[in-house]
Amino acid sequence: MLFLQTLAIGSMLAWNANANAVAALVPRQNVNPGPVKGDTFIHDPTVVKTPGGSYIAAFTGDNIQMKQSSDRTTWRDVGAAFPSGASWTTPYTNGDKNLWAPDLSYHNSQYYMYYSASSFGSSKSAIFLATSKSGLPNTWTNQGLVIESTTSSGYNAIDPNLIVDASGKWWLSFGSFWSGIKLVPLNASTGKPSSSTLTSLAFRPTNGGAVEGPFITRKDSYYYLWVSFDACCKGAASTYNIRVGRSTKVNGPYVDKAGVDMMKGGGTLMMSSHGSIHGPGHNAVFTDTDGDVLVYHYYRDDGVAQMGINLIRYDSGWPVIY
């Protein structure tokens, strides 16, 4: 009898250990956004904290649209980055003023903004760079073309993100569908590529190659590659979802929590549609006094894109949204 009890207890402990191991692989996801007020419409957001402690957001819209906040909660629209237009981008947009997926950061006492020019479903695309001392509308200076793709490139030059690695080297990740997410080294003095060599970071062999919106962050000994899977831009019917993988090197390989390489479709699910939060995706991450902050867009039930903001903590080297 004692033997059977011992065997039963041992089996239960083994089952619990296995269950805990499985549970550890399941991300805590689908947390509701934190409080956001004011002008809450946004799409493909990026946020930078200014040296003075306020916040600037930029997002997809006519000539790149911008917002400001003093507290990270209440936001107000402040207009276009290029109120007089961005004529240098029109060869890639078929004349449309709509510019996509900006990336804001602050280095060398000035703001850098990488952004995309393209048209929906096309890989004739380009990423441009602008700089500003204040980061506010109508103060941005065009620094020209960074990288472009054609209909025969096999990749798509949109959705840029600048990462400065632990050694101070600059890199730009980018990409959408086609052959996936790419990385190119940059010259820190110019913000332009220092080499034409591209490194592939993530690819979906199935699902139509639906991976885009890369954003690389660094925390302790790991780099984290955040991406969006599936379909954006369909309002409440959007199936966008946020995924992540990590690497000890900025140029990969990146693997998810289950050990699957992101070049083989890997990516730990961090947030997907739930309740009245539809198609969360195209996230950015910045560091604030209370930790790393996740910013993204999602769609309300009526199909209007909204700003989502949450904090990130780390558990055994993996990000947890809360």
Indicate if the pLDDT at residue 130 is higher than 70. yes
d(CA 308, CA 278): 11
Task: Report the candidate in 140, 243, 145, 240 with the shortest Cα–Cα distance to residue 192.
Answer: 145
Confirm whether 44 is a catalytic residue: yes
Task: Report the candidate in 298, 318, 305, 244 with the shortest Cα–Cα distance to residue 33.
Answer: 298
Higher pLDDT, 49 or 15: 49
pLDDT band at 210 (very low <50, low <70, confident <90, very high): very high
The active-site residue, picked from 44, 103, 230, 256, is: 44
- pLDDT tens digit sequence for 74-83: 999 999 999 9
The active-site residue, picked from 212, 230, 256, 292, is: 212
Task: Report the candidate in 176, 174, 172, 114 with the shortest Cα–Cα distance to residue 145.
Answer: 114
Say which CATH number the domain at 14 has.
Answer: 2.115.10.20
Mean pLDDT in residue range 262-267: 98
Range of the domain at 249: 2-321
Write down the pLDDT at residue 28: 53
- pLDDT tens digit sequence for 136-191: 999 999 999 999 999 999 999 999 999 999 999 999 999 999 999 999 999 999 99
d(CA 149, CA 24): 40
**Residue 226 CB neighbour total at 10 angstroms:** 25
* The total number of structural domains that make up the chain: 1
Write down the pLDDT at residue 23: 38
pLDDT band at 1 (very low <50, low <70, confident <90, very high): very low
Write down the pLDDT at residue 20: 39
d(CA 285, CA 146): 22
